[in-house]
């Protein structure tokens, strides 16, 4: 046995040395990869161990090792929670609205910007569009509150012009969702155009020349040259965006919601934060978080599969 064992051990060793060669050759590249790799291992993979909390009756003082195992009980509790499906529905609904209206918006704006002749005017507009991206949601929420205020806001003056009674739109369930989606688009519209503008520079200018010669209008050129030219970028970003479907905007909603619109604005993330973390139900929070991640995984794989079906490159 011993001899066989040593023999077996030696063979792959020689094999490995020959395999090692390219790694050795590119060792500097691998070295540069290392910090990123370590980041993911330490901060993304190792904490995955914490998922076991979802299957325990986790007591923060007894720790993972000594807490009691309860199997799927926490998940049963989650799904039986009176508001869970309402919250789940809200998450999907707000997120779908944001994708439906928020995803095409930067594409349209990028196309419009691309058509601008004056370079300085273009830069000027771009910079102004970027700005809101750097403002935190807390500040934006303050701005929205001030604009929407029925007692002393800008909007109340507009209402008065039309001889209407000012309403508190932030306390109106229908209006609140529109405000959520609109302020989200406003904040990240400019930022989103950057990638598309970069992609637009890759479209071969000779195609436009040929089209002009053939007498194609601007609209035709956009439809047949520009959009197909950036199609792969659009699909890639859409897949990534769909992967984030379950993140309906934690920060934004947390700072903007109030009791009157809680029923339409409570999403999984804010619920986990309030019920799980602030009230110390760690197992519950982990179970909801895990459920959330699983859906995101399914979504991203599904989007990937569909894009492959349509002959696009996808992520992997």
Partner 1 sequence: MPNTYKKVMLVAIAASVLAGCSSNGNSESSVKPSSSSSPSPSSSSTASPASAEASKEAPTTLKLAVIEMYPGVSFDNKTTHYIEEKTNTKLEITAIPGADFENKLQIMLASGDKPDIIQLGTDALEMKFTKSGLLLPLNASFDKTPNLQKFGEDGIWDAMKHSDGNVYAIPIRGSAIDNIPIYRKDWLDKLGLKVPTTIDEYYAVADAFSNKDPDGNGKKDTYALSGWTANGGFDLSTSDQVFGAYGTLPNSWLLQDGKLVWGSIVPGALDALKFLNKMYKGKMIDPEFVTDNSARFKDKVLKGVIGAPVYRYFLMDSSNLNNYYEPLKQNNPNAEFVEGGILKGPGDSVGFRMLTRRGWLKTAVLNSSPHVDAALRVLDFLASDEGNKYMNYGEEGVDYKVEGDLLTKTITDDQMKQEGIGQLRLAFNALYDQTSPRYRELFDYAHKIGYKDPADGLVVENNTKQVELDQYTGQQYVKMIMSDGPIDNMFADYVAEWKKRGGDALTQAFNDAYQEKNKQ
Kindly state whether residue 109 participates in binding partner 1, applying the rule CB under 8 A.
no
Residue-by-residue DSSP string for 173-204? HHHHHHHHHHHHHHHHHHHHHHHHHHHHTTS-
Q: What are 143's two structure tokens?
A: 């701005």
Query: Is 266 within 8 Å of 85 (Cβ atoms)?
Result: no
Which stretch in 8-16, 37-45, 88-96, 115-123 sits in contact with partner 1 by CB under 8 A? 37-45
Size of the site for partner 1 (CB under 8 A): 66
State yes or no: residue 213 binds partner 1 (CB under 8 A).
no
Residue closest to 233 by CA, chosen among 188, 259, 271, 203? 203
Give the residue, chosen from 26, 115, 263, 313, that forms a contact with partner 1 under the rule CB under 8 A.
Answer: 263
Q: Segment contacting partner 1 (CB under 8 A): 48-56, 118-126, 132-140, 219-227? A: 48-56
String of b and e for 174-207 (b: at least 16 CB within 10 Å)?
eebbebbbebbbbbbbbebbebbbebbeebeeee
Q: Determine if 296 is a binding residue for partner 1 (CB under 8 A).
A: yes
Cα 37 to chain centroid distance, Å, stands at: 22
Backbone angles phi, psi at 4, to 5 degrees: -60, -40
Instruction: Tell me the per-residue interface mask from 69 to 98 with partner 1, x by CB under 8 A, - otherwise.
Output: -------------x----------------
Residues in the chain: 316
Among 136, 212, 217, 278, binds partner 1 (CB under 8 A): 278
Q: Is 174 in the site for partner 1 (CB under 8 A)?
A: no
Identify whether the C-beta of residue 289 lies closer than 8 Å to the C-beta of residue 118: no
- Residues between 227 and 246 with contacts to partner 1, criterion CB under 8 A: 243-244, 246
Q: Least CB distance from residue 293 to partner 1, whole Å? A: 5
Residue 177 binds partner 1 (CB under 8 A): no
Burial readout 107-123 (b: 16 or more C-beta within 10 A, e: otherwise): bebbbebbeeeeeeebe
Q: Which stretch binds partner 1 (CB under 8 A): 96-104, 112-120, 190-198, 296-304?
A: 296-304
> Does position 9 bind partner 1 by CB under 8 A?
no
Tokens encoding 216: 């194609």
- Residues of this chain that bind partner 1 (CB under 8 A): 40, 43-51, 53-54, 58-64, 82, 145, 149-152, 166-168, 170-171, 243-244, 246-247, 250-251, 257-260, 262-263, 269, 272-282, 285-286, 288-290, 292-294, 296-297, 300-301
């Amino acid at each position: 046995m011993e001899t066989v064992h040593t023999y077996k051990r030696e063979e792959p060793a020689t094999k490995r040395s020959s395999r090692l060669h390219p790694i050795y050759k590119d060792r500097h590249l691998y070295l540069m990869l290392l910090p990123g790799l370590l980041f993911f291992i330490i901060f993304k993979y190792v904490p995955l161990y914490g998922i076991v909390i979802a299957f325990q009756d986790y007591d923060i003082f007894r720790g993972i090792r000594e807490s009691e195992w309860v199997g799927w009980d926490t998940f049963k509790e989650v799904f039986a929670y009176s508001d869970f499906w309402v919250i789940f529905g809200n998450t999907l609904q707000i997120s779908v609205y944001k994708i439906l209206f928020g995803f095409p918006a930067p594409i349209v704006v990028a196309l419009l910007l691309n058509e601008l002749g004056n370079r300085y005017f273009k830069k000027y507009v771009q910079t102004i569009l970027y700005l809101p991206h750097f403002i935190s949601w807390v500040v934006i929420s303050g701005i929205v509150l001030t604009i929407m205020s029925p007692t002393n806001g800008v909007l109340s003056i507009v209402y008065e012009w039309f001889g209407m009674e000012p309403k508190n739109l932030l306390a109106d369930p229908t209006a609140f969702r529109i405000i959520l989606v609109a302020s989200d688009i406003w904040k990240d519209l400019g930022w989103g155009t950057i990638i598309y503008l970069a992609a637009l520079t890759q479209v071969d200018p000779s195609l436009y020349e040929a089209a002009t010669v053939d007498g194609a209008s601007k609209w035709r050129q956009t439809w047949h040259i520009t959009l197909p030219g950036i199609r792969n970028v659009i699909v890639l970003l859409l897949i990534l965006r769909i992967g984030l479907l379950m993140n309906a905007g934690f920060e934004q909603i947390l700072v903007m919601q109030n009791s009157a619109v809680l029923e339409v604005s409570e999403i999984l993330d804010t619920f986990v934060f309030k019920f799980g973390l602030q009230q110390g139900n760690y197992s519950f929070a982990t179970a909801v978080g895990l459920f959330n991640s699983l859906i995101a995984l399914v979504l991203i794989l599904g989007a990937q599969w569909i894009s492959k079906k349509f002959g696009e490159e996808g992520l992997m």
